[in-house]
Amino acid sequence: MVSGISRLRVAAILVVGVLIGSCGTATPADPSPTAKTAAEYPVTVGDLTLAERPARIVVLAPTATEMLFAMDAGDQVVAVDDNSTYPAEAPRSDLSGFQPNAEAIASYEPDLVVISNDINQVKDQLGTLKIPVYLAGPAQTLDDTYTQLEDLGRLTGHGTEAADVVRRMKDDIDKILADTPKRADKPTYYYELDQSLYSVTGDTFVGSLFDQVGLVNVADTVDPRQLNAGYPQLSVEFLIQADPDLIFLADTKCCGQSAETVKARPGWGAITAVREDRIVALDDDIASRWGPRVVELVRVIADAVGKTG
């Protein structure tokens, strides 16, 4: 049976998965940073247009919080949601990203709100209050991540910094992939969202990262009727039969899972990953987001591949 905490965690994951002047001299001096920023507005991204650089941003999306601070836009952020745990200096509040309240958000007098979903039509509610909203929805690919970073960079006046973040991410990931041994017999893996055995397929964002590193997802062989939009619930019997070479735990913080708890599960000793001690504990937060720290996740996956050779 799934615990109450696990049900909330899985529900949240599924929701996110299914749903961003010159001086007066003869030779003009370079414009000041302020002047350069002012000259970039108005800015239009999708259906959102900002007339000026936002100075009071409220972020209800942990990934977007990480993106904004990575591009040095943190000083424009006045509040982030209760799940924005990184970086430590982010102004965390009791605002909910899963059940956003327009009145509570408006109390911060924001000139830009960033959300990751629009479950309760908060975008329209904020629109009636003349508060601009950017929807930073879940990425399906790394290209989606890069686009979202660039969009946020343009909206906040940090286009150059955002481009630098994207370039560094691409360079780092390319190097990790180039340094990872390529195997004809690709190792298989099981990715655990919680101890009730919810997992991901290769059609999800995180699944696509494993694909790039050269791993085969055992969940991809599940009956299509049970795929659950890329987040199937597996069974112990299925996993024993699939016999993955690696197990990745994305439920270490939320649910207290570890290599030791997995080894203690009845029947799991028959799985190669358990017998060979190839159980990788992930940081739940990094594993569930699609921001700059994706590089860290790719590195952990690549390191695990090296242990199977």
Cα distances from 142 to residues 12, 148, 305, in angstroms, run 21, 10, 20
Tell me if 36-172 shares its fold with 183-306. yes
Contacts of 300 (CB under 8 A, 6+ apart): 280, 282
- Per the listing, tokens 């597996």 go with 234
Query: What amino acid is encoded at 184 in this protein?
Result: A
* Stretch (H or E) spanning 239: helix 236-242
In this structure, the chain runs to a length of: 309
The answer to whether the CB of 185 falls within 8 A of the CB of 214 is no
The answer to whether the CB of 247 falls within 8 A of the CB of 274 is yes
| DSSP code, position 90 | S
- Adjacent-strand bridge partners of 58: 79, 113
Q: What is the pLDDT along the chain (309 residues), one digit of tens a residue?
A: 334 434 445 555 555 444 433 333 333 334 444 434 444 899 999 999 999 999 999 999 999 999 999 999 999 999 999 999 999 999 999 999 989 999 999 999 999 999 999 988 999 999 999 999 999 999 999 999 999 999 999 999 999 999 999 999 999 999 999 999 888 899 999 999 999 999 999 999 999 999 999 999 999 999 877 888 899 999 999 999 999 999 999 999 999 999 999 999 999 999 999 999 999 999 999 999 999 999 999 999 999 998 886
The architecture (CATH level 2) of 183-306 comes to 3-Layer(aba) Sandwich (3.40)
Query: What amino acid is encoded at 138 in this protein?
Result: P
Domain coordinates in residue numbering, the chain: 36-172, 183-306
Q: Tokens standing for 158?
A: 């940090």
pTM exceeds 0.75 for this model = yes
The listed CATH number (3.40.50.1980, 3.40.50.10320, 3.30.450.40, 1.10.3720.10) that belongs to domain 36-172: 3.40.50.1980
44 burial level (CB within 10 Å; 0-12, 13-18, 19+): exposed
